Amino acid sequence: MATINALSLNDYGYTGNGVKVGVVDSGINKTHAEFDGKTIYGRDFASSATGYGFDENGHGSHVASIIAGDRDASGMRGVAYDATLFDYKTDNDGDSGLEAISSDSAVASIFNQHVTDNINVSNNSWGFGTSITAYSEATLRASLPNTISALTAAKNNGTLFVFAAGNDSNAEVDYAGGLPYRISELANEWLVVGAVSTSGVEASFNNRCGVAKAFCVVAPGVSINAAQANGNYTVMSGTSMAAPHVAGVAAALMEKFPSLTTAQIATRIKTTASLTGLTGRGGETTANSTTAQMQAIFGHGLINSTAAAASIGSYIYANGSNLNNGQNLSLSKLSLPAGLPASAQNQVLGSKFIVFDSFDGARFSVGGNEVFEASHSSIARTYDTTKIIDTHSKSELSFISSGQKIYPSKWAPRYIMSGNSNEMAAAEGFWGKTASMLSSQPFVKGQPSTNFIWAQSYGDFEIQPFIQIQDETASSQSIGSYGASFHLNFSDGLKAVTGYKISNHLFDNGILSDAASAGSARDFEVGFKQELSPSKNLFLRFLNTQIDDIAASDKTFGFKNVAANSWTFGYETRSNLGNFTFGVSSPSQLSNGTVSLMTPSGRTKSEDVLYTETEFAISRDNKMERFIAYQFEQDELSISFGVVEDKYNYGKIGAAKLDISMLF
């Protein structure tokens, strides 16, 4: 077991459970302690007096216990001890001959039964004694038409065939085990097995791989202690003992990788086998022999359960119906949306996710930190991210003429503002340039938009309804938002505002840079400005955003009962040396509800990826960030500068931004 690293599979729970292994041999003694609690299925093809489930010879019981003997700290144990055994008995009297392996039609009936019973792995520790090179393809097809047909049907039904190489010390394998060398359609679902000692030395009796090297491996087959038919244990040697080690590994791999085809399981075993450490009976090693010489002896080499069960290529995270468009995690991880609070991102990073091997699509479970990387970006605030036009100062925009008089049009908007949709407030007309200092919404993809704001005053009270048009790249535009703000002027320079906005957005909720979900949100904000002097003021703004539920996909997070909150408090001063603002804010981020993602759960044998919805609870981080912003304007030159603190690393700069613009 140590030679083939069986524990690396077994101790992680892969023991052949649910995998059917057919043992074509002298029988299986179902009363042996190694098969306690097991139901032995099968069929007696030799018309013996006892039937299947009994073994007059002992060879078959020895082989079967290597595959699936109990792991109970007594006697010995098998490689895939939870596999389901099928006894295909071929001996009727306990002698060395196998009466059921007597003709083409007799052998074919055994392998046809494999189809009937849906056998996953077939162990064949028997042979004919003659090398495969002694027969041509034409001869074999003429003499074994029924056997070849049955084998083909079984492998098409999902059976992996494991054959012993033979014990005649030949340079070539037995023709039963080497059949795919001539009958090439069988090669992908076939392994022939030679024998080495537990120290990696070729057995003296071993038939070498020879021309069958493409589908040949080796395993321990010298002095193997296993079950005997009489209820005891015995030590036996032979390629018959090597083959069931491979059959057991194949059964455990089939449990671990249920989506892989039989050919892919065989390929894993071959690809991860190694010539390192092996020694031929003539002293051949990798140090003194060529690779071709070593392959002629050992084929792909000694099997290794640990390597066969591990990733061979790179991890692929699926984001489609198949792996063609999946993310190769060896190149880069997927970024989590910046709008997710750290608490939710940490949940994702601490969860388990299914990924697939680029080599063959094998399924693995890895930590979220191997798939995703956190996104805790900060956004520096600078002046003039939103452009403002007061139409009362632009006669061509809002004034009409009647004779000698010019007066404002009641239908014209008072303000026209342009900027990114994720930075525009419900009360743009109230905040003016101060809007640039308010916390933006990182969970919304900013789209160039224009805000048309009307204004109607009633004494100290003013209402400003608005519509926001998204500047689409297409020939038509669409209304992205609409709502209104309500302004009230108190005494001593105190002003208050409340605003409500209903918006259609593209939400930045994807794990891919170009992924987003269309949805709607409702913003409610309350704000105050206190003029300390004509050039100085304090401002405070609270924002609550309710986001309508969005369905999850394999590329985007879904939202359920999700809301976001933020507040900003600042001090602004204006002079001929420029405008300066500093303040503190609790930045806008998702603060309650749940987010979910359709995550891969497995794959079918036809290579379709399966998904399940995984949910993560949202809780607010309660982080704050300090910021400063400065702007200097002269003539057509404007210089704006902003710095914001890293909210997850207080005292460190989270982001800085410098804008220099000039009108030519």
* 283 shares a domain with 403: no
The domain of 206 spans: 7-309
Euclidean distance between CA atoms 163 and 296, whole angstroms: 17
* 394 shares a domain with 299: no
Of 240, 305, 503, 566, the active-site residue reads 240
Query: Which of 309, 327, 359 is at the close of a domain?
Result: 309
Give buried/exposed letters for 511-544 (b at 16+ CB in 10 A, else e). Answer: beeebbbebebbbebebebbeeeeeebbbebbbb
Q: In this structure, is residue 354 part of a structural domain?
A: no
Q: In this structure, is residue 133 part of a structural domain?
A: yes
- Name the pTM for this structure: 0.87
Q: In this structure, is residue 343 part of a structural domain?
A: no
From the list 510, 514, 540, the residue with the least C-alpha distance to 526 is: 540
H/E stretch holding 348 reads helix 342-350
Cβ 359 vs Cβ 313: under 8 Å: yes
The dihedrals phi and psi of 562, each to the nearest 5 degrees, come to: -95, 140
Cα dist from 401 to 409, 412, 454, whole Å: 9, 14, 20
Reply yes or no on whether 360 is catalytic: no
* 406 shares a domain with 297: no
Indicate which CATH number applies to the domain containing 240: 3.40.50.200
Q: In this structure, is residue 401 part of a structural domain?
A: yes
Cβ-count burial of 149 within 10 angstroms (0-12 exposed, 13-18 middle, 19+ buried)? Answer: middle
* 77 shares a domain with 207: yes
Indicate which CATH number applies to the domain containing 475: 2.40.160
Q: In this structure, is residue 605 part of a structural domain?
A: no
Q: What is the DSSP string of 115-162?
A: HHHT-SEEEE----SSBGGGS-HHHHHHH-HHHHHHHHHHHHTTPEEE
pLDDT value, residue 474: 43
* 619 shares a domain with 478: yes
Per-10-residue mean pLDDT of the chain, 664 residues long, equals: 89 94 97 95 96 96 97 94 98 90 96 98 96 98 98 98 98 98 98 98 98 98 95 96 98 96 98 98 97 98 97 95 93 92 93 96 96 88 74 61 59 80 83 84 84 89 91 62 93 93 91 91 95 94 95 96 94 93 92 94 93 94 92 89 91 92 83
Query: Which of 277, 309, 341 is at the close of a domain?
Result: 309
Reply yes or no on whether 240 is catalytic: yes
Q: Which residue has the tokens 């003021």?
A: 537
Q: Is the dihedral of CA 198, 204, 209, 210 positive or negative?
A: positive
* 171 shares a domain with 65: yes
pLDDT value, residue 392: 67
Of 26, 44, 55, 59, the active-site residue reads 59
* 189 shares a domain with 91: yes
Of 25, 82, 87, 91, the active-site residue reads 25
pLDDT value, residue 14: 94
Q: Is the dihedral of CA 61, 64, 66, 68 positive or negative?
A: negative
Helices (H), 208-284: 239-256, 262-272
pLDDT value, residue 122: 98
Q: In this structure, is residue 130 part of a structural domain?
A: yes
* 134 shares a domain with 44: yes
Query: Which of 266, 294, 309 is at the close of a domain?
Result: 309
Q: In this structure, is residue 363 part of a structural domain?
A: no
Q: Are strands 536-547 and 558-575 parallel, antiparallel or unpaired?
A: antiparallel
Cβ 427 vs Cβ 438: under 8 Å: no
Cβ 26 vs Cβ 87: under 8 Å: no
Q: How many domains does the chain have?
A: 2
Reply yes or no on whether 59 is catalytic: yes
The dihedrals phi and psi of 584, each to the nearest 5 degrees, come to: -140, 145
Cα 582 from chain centroid?
A: 44
pLDDT value, residue 404: 56
